[in-house]
Amino acid sequence: MTARERVLLALNHEEADRIPIHDSPWVATIERWHNEGLPREVNPNEYFDFELVGFGADTSPRFPIEVVEENEEYIVRTTNFGGLRRDHKNYSSTPQIIDYPCKTREDWERIKERLTPDRDRVDWDGAWLAGTAEDERGEESMLELGRSERRLGLPGFRQARDAGRFIYYGHAFGYDKIQSYVASEQLLLAIATDPDWVRDMYETDATLGIQMYETMRDGGFEFDGAWILCDLGYRNGLLFSPHHYDEQLRPTFRRLVDYFHSEGLPVLLHSCGCVKELIPRFIEDGLDCLQPLEVKAGMDLPELKQQFGDQIAFFGGIDVRAMADPDPAVIEEEIRSKLVPAKQGGGYLYHSDHSVPNNVSFDQYCRVLELVREYGAY
């Protein structure tokens, strides 16, 4: 059975030979694993046989990325959204955003003129199996998805298709994407005081995402699904009220889901934090799958499966803190207790509950995947 067949069965709430397997290790984690036995010449996605491969376009305003300051620990750069950010050189923590490009609605109107589709937004020539996560360090466009294959082109697509992978079109959108333009505090204030501006930003970005999907489709890409990304929660709940979600972001979300469904593609949503309150809305609007189910934010996989598992597929929910525990029984119990109920009747794909940090050793992670294959078999 190919990865593509396995993923499609899971999304359709059918049982395959085992659950699909995918994950998102940090760049710093991959560097650690290289020092502990992961071959440097092999793409980690290929080594671990991850089953989804994403392709997308640069949907930023494409401002030039320039190094402003650099020392042994940090690097400060402009972003392709027009901002300024500081990163640890090993990308082991969340970046510090120093400056944002949109301080007024007038700033947005000037930047908006740059958000037009063209073929140059796609890396048509990139390969998949040759690269690793280090290939695109520091590019804001990589950080939209956090996946090393984010910007790869037709050769990469053909390699992934020949390998039987599930190929998705990836697009970050909505509130989380617009934080690349507007500081969080200002954006939250605008949600309350200038909803027309917020809706315009959401819709402009979604339009470009759809246009670039069509550009890639017409240029030779064939997609099996669409994976859209918008963080909507934090540890204790939603980042803003359900009322404002319904009023401003939900029409854009529904538009994207409806569009990709019209193309025959299932839709997966990445949304960090505690988003339980929105799951009935996601189901009503046709979402096929929710990821990553952060355990520390109260997203309990068995509970969600019991409550909503016949209406939506789940992807993730395995606590990375258990992966790093020195007692191997901890991660085995984490995986056994969650995969056994979650896999019943299909509708579940393995992933960590966010991404794999660099406190997880290579041997520990290899054990994780052994356990996933054991307990995830049908």
Which pLDDT value is given to residue 90? 75
Q: Is the Cβ–Cβ distance between 322 and 358 less than 8 Å?
A: no
* Residue recorded with tokens 């980690």: 44
Low-confidence ranges of the chain (pLDDT < 70): 127-152
Q: Identity (one letter) of the amino acid at 107? A: D
CATH classification of the domain holding 44 = 3.20.20.210
The Cα 237–Cα 161 span in angstroms is: 39
Which pLDDT value is given to residue 217? 98
Which pLDDT value is given to residue 162? 94
In which domain, by residue range, is 115 found? Answer: 3-61+102-375
Instruction: Provide Rg for the chain, Cα atoms.
Output: 20
242 prior amide bond cis, ω within 30: no
The Cα 283–Cα 312 span in angstroms is: 7
Instruction: Give per-residue pLDDT as tens, 146-176.
Output: 333 344 689 989 999 999 999 999 999 999 9
182 SS3 class = coil
Which pLDDT value is given to residue 185? 95
Residue 198 counted as domain residue: yes
Q: Is the Cβ–Cβ distance between 29 and 360 less than 8 Å?
A: yes
Which pLDDT value is given to residue 60? 96
347 SS3 class = coil
What contacts 355, CB < 8 A, 6 or more positions away? Answer: 23, 24, 25, 26, 146, 292, 320
Which pLDDT value is given to residue 127? 66
Number of domains into which the chain is organized = 1
Angle at 86 between CA 80 and CA 88, to 5 degrees: 120
Strand (E) positions, 194-278? 225-229, 233-234, 237-238, 267-270
Residue 251 counted as domain residue: yes
Residue 68 counted as domain residue: no
The Cα 178–Cα 198 span in angstroms is: 9
Residue in 172, 254, 176, 170 with CA at minimum distance from that of residue 213: 170
Residue 16 counted as domain residue: yes
The Cα 26–Cα 358 span in angstroms is: 7
| Helix 328-342 and helix 301-308, axial crossing angle in degrees, nearest 10 | 0
Which pLDDT value is given to residue 42? 85
Instruction: Give per-residue pLDDT as tens, 47-74.
Output: 999 999 999 999 999 999 999 999 989 9
The Cα 185–Cα 192 span in angstroms is: 11
Residue 77 counted as domain residue: no
